[in-house]
Amino acid sequence: MIGTPFLTAATGQFDVTLLAKPFALDLQPRLWPDLTVEPFVAPWTAFTQKYHLWRWPWRQIYHLNRRLTAVHFEFGISARWDPRDHLMLKILGAKHRLGFPRLHSESFLTQPLTRPDPEAHRYEFWRILGRALGLALPARDQVSPTASAKREIVLIHTGAGQPVRVWPLERYQQLAGRLRRKGIQTRIACDPDQRAWWTAAGENVVAPASVAELLRVIDQAGVFIGNDSGPGHLAAACGIPTFTIFGSHLPEWFAPLHPAAEWIEGKVCPYLPCSDYCRFPEPFCVRDTSEDEVWSRVEKFVTRHVSAPAGPARQPVSSSTPGV
């Protein structure tokens, strides 16, 4: 989702094909209606076992190569400084190949680009690619997704791509309780493997099984609260203000692209940022952030974007059926 401003600008001047994980097919009609998605799970992007070559989908890679080579792409780009991406661009036969070289991968590129400052947001890689293609992308603080319809519901999503990014569920439960006692409608969404915990806690939780279902849940919300995770970036891309609880990653790199986005940083760790490979028995960078610390920030954040009703507090509202 961080590349959305680039993709939007690029489709205004080019016929764009996006090589991405299959969930991008669900995002395409909403975020990038004018491009083509070619679904592919690059095995070198896996969190574990990425170098088990015998597990790689060689048949799929072969057919993908034949199909895309026939397109005769004028440009091939990658915002990742990954030599395997750059080799793929060369194999696919793109005439002009732009990327950020690493480990001498400039031999696969026709136009090596200089990486942005190490402390820059990941969006800056897309801005540099944009400039190389003659596309004017806004600065990070000027990215303005289309505003969502005003809604008075807080959506808390407790999942994340890796367990080390998850703030403790019991603290999310306490946070939801505080919001509800202020009369604010609060709904809980989670990853499927968290559903049992929330059900045992008495919450009629939503556990989207696909990005399309998650989009329907996000569309009901006025603000989003969650971990440093994909759902938060998706909410921001849909125009919803986000509050992110960070741990192992840096907000400077991965804060959602929304002018009203806010966050709380993880606790100091000598290995921060650690790319989700925690060296300790548990990731204290996120789990040592107390509920009171988060509440002191979230209360103000929610007040700015959601109006509490007058009179008695509303009853907790949630739904196990997306779209209801």
The yes or no reply on domain 153-305 and CATH 3.30.70.1150 is no
Locate the domains of the chain by residue range: 4-140, 153-305
Nearest Cα residue to 257 out of 126, 161, 128: 126
Residue 67's contacts (CB-CB under 8 Å, 6 or more residues apart) are: 38
Name the CATH topology of 4-140: Rossmann fold (3.40.50)
**Fold agreement between 4-140 and 153-305:** yes
Q: What is the pLDDT of residue 145?
A: 84
Dump pLDDT digits (tens) for 113-163.
Answer: 999 999 999 999 999 999 999 999 999 989 988 877 778 999 999 999 899
Q: What is the pLDDT of residue 309?
A: 62
Q: Which two tokens stand for residue 78?
A: 């990658």
Q: How are strands ordered across the β-sheet holding 153-157?
A: 185-189, 153-157, 223-227, 242-245, 262-264
Kindly report the average pLDDT of the chain as a whole number: 91
Q: What is the pLDDT of residue 314?
A: 43
